[in-house]
Structure 1
Amino acid sequence: MNSKRILAAVVVAIAATGGGFYAGHLMTGGASEAATSANAVDQLWRASLQNAQGTPQTIASFRGRPVVVNFWASWCGPCVKEMPALAAMHREYAGKGITFIGLGVDSEKNVNEFLKKVPVDYPVYIAGFGGADLARSFGNNAGGLPFTVVIDAKGVVRSTKLGEVDLKELKQTLDAL
């Protein structure tokens, strides 16, 4: 009987140690993920971009406000398809203080030709092909487009979406801000 108690105590000790290791691993992963997101947001605010008119600028003026950042390209079919819906959502949520921002992972010429055909009423910046690196900092390791990031007013990434946005999901995220 005594040996059964000792065995039970050993099993409990091993389980507790393993559970503590696992919980620590989860917490470290979460903290690391949060730090990575914060670094990505800081990178976004510091990024030197140019607007569609070719004027160099940063988008740091959007810091402190909720933003939806959409990485897109003129040659990307799903990007082109979702832009009118994103423009409509921008109009819907502008009154709630939420701004949509387009980052063209494309050339200035292609972005401007596209905007002549499909005008959008939210700010569009040319990130060039370096925009793919910025998208990777938000976890888009595949480098695919479109890629959408929702950042709250505190600079916390609330959601990311690789591929065409699901409008219902995006509305739920925005309504929760």
Structure 2
Amino acid sequence: MAAGLNDIEAIPHLDKAGKEGYREFLTAEKHRAFAIAPGGAWTWNGGGSSAESVAEDTQQTCEFDNGQTCMIYALDDRVVFDSQTWAGLWGPYLDRTQASRAAVGLKRGERFYDLSFRSADGHPMQLSDLQGKVVVLHFWGSWCLPCRREMPEMQQLHRALGRSSDIQMVMLQVREDFATARKWTRQQHLKLPLYDSGVSKKANDTLNLAAGKTIHDRYIAEMFPTTYILDKHGIVVFSNIGPISRWSEYLPLLRDVAARSGK
């Protein structure tokens, strides 16, 4: 059954501020439109000359302000949200040739830095080893209160993914050693895909690159936690600075990346 216009909790990825914005939208004069994007971005406009023009203006504003594809959730008194279109908003994905030419960086459409790290049992790895899989790359620390609060959501996502062969979560600790991070998760009875970033103490603020160099952790993550979603070619399709609530709502998008990227 489709969500009702007043069912704010049904709107995917919307945080407290977004919900307040939606309440304002509901009281605005017609014509009005409310746009959303994966990750919680939102915009609304009211008082338009027509439903078509306000929808177009709102979508364009949302995409200009947030740098990603948006879609109209509600228009005047109707919910027009299309869950199938929503699931594909991280696309279109780069093909093999396009991906090979992509610049290295952190922005959408760029190839993420080839980090060097170790598996939980100490096996040396690098991020490029995981090409062919969608990667949920998560930077966190047990000392970080927002990170700790997000962990139950990460646990639910991990369980929901189950034995998925083409979506891999990689959780790398920052500003603490691996033993400390793992000890905390065990104390909380969390079973998560932890990997050793190579950080050995609190004062260590760099991460290792496969080429032998290092990169500052605050360059990759302005704050912790920070998450990147990489497609099967290692290309950034989504990033989020800070904790995410309701990670389960990202499953349709993750599965779309798994199904359609890597060609």
Question: Which residue does the alignment assign to 1:156?
Answer: 235
CA offsets 1:92-145 (integer angstroms, 9 cap, x no match): 2243621111010122232132132133232422342324725624xx3xx210
Q: Which structure 2 residue ranges, 5 or more long, are not aligned?
A: 1-101, 200-204, 208-214, 258-263
User: In the superposition, relative to structure 1, how do residues 55 and 176 fare at CA in structure 2: closer, same or farther (>3 Å)?
Assistant: closer
Cα distance in 2 for residues equivalent to 1:85 and 1:59: 23
Q: Which structure 1 residue ranges, 5 or more long, are not aligned?
A: 1-33
Q: 1:87 aligns with which of 144, 155, 158?
A: 155
Question: Which residue does the alignment assign to 1:78?
Answer: 146
Question: Which residue does the alignment assign to 1:121?
Answer: 192
Q: Which has the higher contact order (CA 8 A, sep 6+)?
A: 1
Cα distance in 1 for residues equivalent to 2:143 and 2:121: 20
Is 1:136 the equivalent of 2:219?
yes
TM-score calculated relative to the size of structure 2: 0.45
Q: After TM superposition, which residue ranges in structure 1, 4 or more long, deviate above 6 angstroms?
A: none
* 1:37-52 matched pairs, under 5 angstroms: 37=106, 41=112, 43-44=113-114, 47-52=115-120
Cα distance in 1 for residues equivalent to 2:198 and 2:250: 23
Which structure shows the higher helix fraction? 1
Matched-pair contact (CA < 8 Å) for 1:54–1:108: no
Identity %: 23
Matched-pair contact (CA < 8 Å) for 1:73–1:79: yes
Question: Which residue does the alignment assign to 1:101?
Answer: 170
Cα distance in 1 for residues equivalent to 2:234 and 2:195: 20
User: In the superposition, relative to structure 1, how do residues 91 and 146 fare at CA in structure 2: closer, same or farther (>3 Å)?
Assistant: same
Cα distance in 2 for residues equivalent to 1:146 and 1:79: 5
User: In the superposition, relative to structure 1, how do residues 172 and 162 fare at CA in structure 2: closer, same or farther (>3 Å)?
Assistant: farther
Amino acid at match of 2:251: K
* 1:52-63 matched pairs, under 5 angstroms: 52-63=120-131
Question: Which residue does the alignment assign to 1:170?
Answer: 250
TM-score calculated relative to the size of structure 1: 0.64
- SS across alignment from 1:126: coil
Matched-pair contact (CA < 8 Å) for 1:50–1:126: yes
